[in-house]
């Protein structure tokens, strides 16, 4: 136990602990000396911080010493796979998915509970979510936090889910409900699924540091990443690509507007237009070159192109990452979408737009949700360290 220190000292230690973890996250296997060089902290400070972070289980020492240079040796340090795990939850329209991800970002366990959550009362769905979270928490690993991905507007300042049109939910305090129902004593973060998916893409994906990631499912959302950071807008309501009015006189949408993209290019619409009932059947039909399926995807690609050309004319981003169901449709969806963009983006000739499939597919949101719990600890490890060391 350390003696009480002035507030300033505490703040400095918190900040410096985050610097040390950040250095090891960027360059795993660094020695104490290398961490000191990377952070600008003294070796003595780094050693003291590292000892504390090892004590709390966040950092592990490598088994072998390695040569750093002439006459110098150092012990390799890593973020510890036995450190705090992130528990990611995705409340989807037709599933509840839970992933346990270790402190280094590796997935340890996955659970999926299919089931239609549309127009279920939030209390009913959140009871199922709480059961899922409690089940995952019985695994014999420390849980550092829970991240929850929801398909709707989450207000950044309050964490409240304001509206989730495809669930039929309004004004649900998912965080408080879940803390109460699952009796959680770790931080719970609630975020928009498309934003969390984009963060997973940023960490693990193919989009680079500037892209728009499309979560194409029953709803359509986007996560906008600029210079390696998520752009959420002033209230956290940005990236609502699914509600861009691509056909202003088109069909009424659940949100109250008309001709929204997700009514014209969402998964349900494509499947129905293709004359099948599931995405798996759609993919089979596409692989068999069935006309109705090919036409359904081409039509969706054109509407998606209208929405994305609006986004790129405004934001001038070099890459579109097709995520969710769209990732699997990319061989058919990508080329007509790219053609639409080259026609409709004013700067396309000088700043061409690359369309790529996410390798994470529909898993990006739950991975991003788990990652948000880990990122919170990396950014400010002290609350977790204090909870372990007392």
- Which lies closer to a second copy via its Cβ, residue 128 or residue 258? 258
Q: Is position 320 an interface residue for a second copy (rule: CB under 8 A)? A: no
Q: Which strand ranges, in their side-by-side order, compose the sheet holding 169-172?
A: 153-154, 161-164, 169-172
Q: Is position 93 an interface residue for a second copy (rule: CB under 8 A)? A: no
Q: Is position 234 an interface residue for a second copy (rule: CB under 8 A)? A: yes
Cβ neighbour number for residue 361 with a 10 Å cutoff: 16
* Cβ 20 to a second copy shortest distance, Å: 27
Q: Is position 228 an interface residue for a second copy (rule: CB under 8 A)? A: no
Q: Which of 235, 277, 278, 284 binds a second copy (CB under 8 A)?
A: 235
Q: Is position 269 an interface residue for a second copy (rule: CB under 8 A)? A: no
Q: Is position 288 an interface residue for a second copy (rule: CB under 8 A)? A: no
Q: Is position 347 an interface residue for a second copy (rule: CB under 8 A)? A: yes
> Largest Cα–Cα distance in the chain?
74
Q: Which of 25, 131, 313, 387 binds a second copy (CB under 8 A)?
A: 313
Q: Which of 57, 83, 144, 165 binds a second copy (CB under 8 A)?
A: 165
Cα distance between residue 172 and residue 161, in whole Å? 5
Torsion angle of C-alpha atoms 150, 381, 137, 188, degrees rounded to 10: -30
DSSP string, 39-101: HT--HHHHHHHHHHHHHTTSEEEEEEEEEEETTEEEEEEEE-TTSPEEEEEEE-SSEEEEEEE
DSSP assignment, residue 32?
H
Question: Which DSSP helix (H) or strand (E) runs through 287?
Answer: helix 279-287
Cβ neighbour number for residue 64 with a 10 Å cutoff: 7
Q: Which of 117, 309, 358, 372 binds a second copy (CB under 8 A)?
A: 309
- Exposure letters 127-161 (e unless 16+ CB within 10 A, then b): ebbbebbeebbeeebbbbbbbbbbbbbbebeebbb
* Cβ 320 to a second copy shortest distance, Å: 13
* Cβ 147 to a second copy shortest distance, Å: 21
Q: Which strand ranges, in their side-by-side order, compose the sheet holding 220-226?
A: 229-231, 220-226, 211-216, 319-324, 354-357
Kindly determine how many residues on this chain lie close enough to bind a second copy according to the rule CB under 8 A: 49
Q: Is position 323 an interface residue for a second copy (rule: CB under 8 A)? A: no
Span of 10-18, 231-239, 324-332, 382-390 interacting with a second copy by CB under 8 A = 231-239
- Which lies closer to a second copy via its Cβ, residue 35 or residue 345? 345
Q: Which of 29, 115, 233, 331 binds a second copy (CB under 8 A)?
A: 233
Q: Specify the residue for token string 């998915």.
A: 97
Q: Which of 155, 272, 277, 278 binds a second copy (CB under 8 A)?
A: 155
The footprint of a second copy (CB under 8 A) covers 153, 155, 162-163, 165, 210, 222, 224, 226, 231-241, 243-248, 255-257, 302, 306-307, 309-311, 313-318, 343-347, 349-351
């Amino acid at each position: 136990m350390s003696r009480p220190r002035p507030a300033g000292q505490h703040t400095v230690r918190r900040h410096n602990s985050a610097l040390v973890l950040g250095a090891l996250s960027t360059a795993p296997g660094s020695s104490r000396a290398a961490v000191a060089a990377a952070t600008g902290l003294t070796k003595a400070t780094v050693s003291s911080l590292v000892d504390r972070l090892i004590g709390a289980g966040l950092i592990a020492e490598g088994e072998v010493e390695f040569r750093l240079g002439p006459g110098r040796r150092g012990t390799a340090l890593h973020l510890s796979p036995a450190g705090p795990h992130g528990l990611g939850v995705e409340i989807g329209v037709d599933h509840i998915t839970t992933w346990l991800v270790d402190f280094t970002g590796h997935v340890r366990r996955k659970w999926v509970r299919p089931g239609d959550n549309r127009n279920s009362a939030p209390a009913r769905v959140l009871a199922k979510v709480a059961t899922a979270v409690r089940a995952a928490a019985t695994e014999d690993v420390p849980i550092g936090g829970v991240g929850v991905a929801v398909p709707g507007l989450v207000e950044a300042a309050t964490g409240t889910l304001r509206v989730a049109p495809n669930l039929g939910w309004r004004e649900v305090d998912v965080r408080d409900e879940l803390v109460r129902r699952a009796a959680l004593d770790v931080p719970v973060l609630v975020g928009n699924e498309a934003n969390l998916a984009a963060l997973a893409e940023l960490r693990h994906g193919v989009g680079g540091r500037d892209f728009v990631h499309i979560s194409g499912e029953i709803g359509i959302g986007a996560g906008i990443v600029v210079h390696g950071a998520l752009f959420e807008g002033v209230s956290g309501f940005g990236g609502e690509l699914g509600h861009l009015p691509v056909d202003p006189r088109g069909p009424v949408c659940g949100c109250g507007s008309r001709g929204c993209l997700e009514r014209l290019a969402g998964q349900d619409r494509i499947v129905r237009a293709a004359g099948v009932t599931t995405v798996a059947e759609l993919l089979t039909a596409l692989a068999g070159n069935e006309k109705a399926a090919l036409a359904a995807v081409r039509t969706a690609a054109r509407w998606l192109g209208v929405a994305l050309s609006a986004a790129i004319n405004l934001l001038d981003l070099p890459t579109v990452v097709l995520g969710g169901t769209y990732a699997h449709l990319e061989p058919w969806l990508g080329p007509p979408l790219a053609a639409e963009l080259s026609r409709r983006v004013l700067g396309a000739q000088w700043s061409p737009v690359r369309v790529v499939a996410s390798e994470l597919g529909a898993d990006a949101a739950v991975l991003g949700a788990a990652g948000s719990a880990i990122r919170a600890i990396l950014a400010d490890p002290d609350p977790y360290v204090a909870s372990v060391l007392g």
